[in-house]
Structure 1
Amino acid sequence: MTTTTPTAAAPKSSRPARHVVLTILRRPASAIAVAFIVLLVFLAIAGPFVSPHDPEAQNLGNRFAELSWTHLLGTDEFGRDVASRIIQASRIAVIAPLISVGVALLIGLPLGLWAGLRRGVVDAVAGRLADTILSLPALVGALAIVAVLGPGLVNAMLAVGIIFAPGLFRVVRGATLAVAEETFVDSAVAIGSSTRRTLWVHILPNIAAPLLVQVTILMGVALLAEASLSFIGLGVQPPDASWGSMLKSAYTNQFHSPFSVVPPGIAMVLTVLAFNTIGDSIRDAVGVRRRT
């Protein structure tokens, strides 16, 4: 007679992840948001090929030009084509949130998983550090870190990622605490599953939903943080274009060209709204999946 060794595995969902994706895409608002983000990524990659003009080419004889077929969104104080610079800045709008959220994930995800499963010293120390950082105003903390590291896109986004990490740690830790009480986790530990395997194979897939919601929300917040730091000169440095630095330029020259604030402002609003809509749709779709 043969015997089989019991194995522990998380319960399989009755509706796979692709059904959640289809649920999101069936909703007009979330489908439009996804399409907008895809367009943004396309512009970030293919920007040099689709830009109507060189975004850094100056024409001081054509400063603050009005909207025309030649310059669809006019020109700035140096005669540079605004539409081309909006397209160029889309690269920053994609890269900046990825850097900051990536840093937050590298710090907050493993710490949150370990603290939620094992508790102990790691939970106590990481929890107190998270409380300390969360008690500080986010922008002030980011400014302090940038002051140490120096201005620039990468340094600014590293600072933002460090500020995001405690909040992400709290979300991951709370979700891990809930999943760690499930029977399949106890079974995995009982049959000798290592802590690493328990965390990455049994717990992480089951906290993916709240983690994805938090990540999409942080992407929008990171874009606003990058724009704020670029607005005050600590983010993207000239001659590179950023929606935040373009807003700064538009603010400085508001009496010469009142319309110049509109293109980067609308681009930023639509991008943040798209990220938030996707996050809400993920939350709602997962809620529907759990109720069925």
Structure 2
Amino acid sequence: MFEWFTLRIADTLIALPFLIYAVAVTALLGNGIPQAMFTVGVLVSPLFYRVARAATLAVARSQYVEAALISGASIGWIARRHVWGKVLPPVAVALAQTIGVGFVVVSSLSFLGIGVQPPAPTWGGLLASDLGYLSYQPWAPAVPALLIMAT
């Protein structure tokens, strides 16, 4: 029952439009770095849950885990010895992908004026402030945009 319930919550969070949910939560909780981090953390948590669950289920059904159980090994030892080594690489790949997504979301919120507020420096805020000088320097927003893309 717990697994079914948590999977439905994860499905619900995955189905929500990412940026619209981030805007709503940031508007509710206020502007700032902790609120933006919380918003991104809640929105990407289903990805980690699904990746870790899938990798764990694949390892739990393997023959060497069954052999360890039959030989009398404790579940904690099996988790440390067999499961963690197989689960951490997919989670690390998901983390690498999610860092970029989180960075773009926080930059987008700052660009829209509802994320991290000045005087805290963010590239989204810098990009938004450079839009005011578009008639004088049309290339000004290119630098923060290129830095966001490079990161």
TM over 0.5: yes
- Report the 3-state secondary structure (helix = DSSP H, G, I; strand = E; otherwise coil) of the residue aligned with 1:240: coil
Q: Deviations over 1:196-215 (max 9, x none)?
A: 44334421211222111111
State the partner residue of 1:251: 131
Aligned residues: 150
Tell me which residue corresponds to 1:32. Answer: none
Structural mapping, 1:83-162, within 5 Å: 121-162=1-42
**Contact 1:250/1:258 (CA < 8 Å) preserved in 2?**
no
TM-score scaled by structure 1? 0.49
Q: Gaps (5+ residues) in structure 1?
A: 1-120, 272-292
Matched with 2:141 is 261
Question: In the alignment, which residue of structure 1 is the partner of 2:118?
Answer: 238
Aligned to 1:193: 74
Residues 154-210 of structure 1: per-residue CA shift (max 9 Å, x gap): 11111011000012211111111111111222233331413x443344212112221
In structure 2, C-alpha distance between the alignment counterparts of 1:155 and 1:201, rounded to whole Å: 37
TM-score, with structure 2 as normaliser: 0.90
Counterpart among 180, 183, 186 of residue 63 in structure 2: 183
Name the structure 2 match of 1:224: 104
Greater share of residues in helix: 2
Question: How far off its partner does 1:132 sit?
Answer: 1.0
Hey, what does 1:275 align to over in structure 2?
none
List per-residue Cα deviations over 1:225-281 (Å, max 9, x = no partner): 11001111222211121110011111232112212112111111111xxxxxxxxxx
Query: Could you tell me how far apart the structure 2 residues matched to 1:172 and 1:197 are?
Result: 18
Q: Distance in 2 between matches of 1:245 and 1:258?
A: 17
SS in 1 for 2:48: helix
Aligned partner of residue 118 in structure 2, secondary structure: coil
Give unmatched runs, 5+ long, in structure 2. none
DSSP-derived class of the 2:128 partner: helix
Question: Percent identity over the alignment?
Answer: 35
Give the distance between the partners of 1:220 and 1:258, measured in 2 at CA.
27
User: CA separation in 2, counterparts of 1:168 and 1:124?
Assistant: 16
Q: Is the 8 A contact 1:131 1:166 kept in 2?
A: yes
Pick aligned residue for 1:205 from 85, 92, 97: 85
Q: What do the CA deviations read for 1:44-70 (whole angstroms, capped 9, x no partner)? A: xxxxxxxxxxxxxxxxxxxxxxxxxxx
Distance 1:129 1:214 in 2: 19
Contact 2:47 2:94 in 1 (8 A): no
Indicate conservation of the 8 Å contact 2:106/2:115, yes or no.
yes
CA root-mean-square deviation: 1.6
Q: Provide the residue aligned with 1:76 in structure 2.
A: none
Alignment of 1:48-67 (within 5 A): none
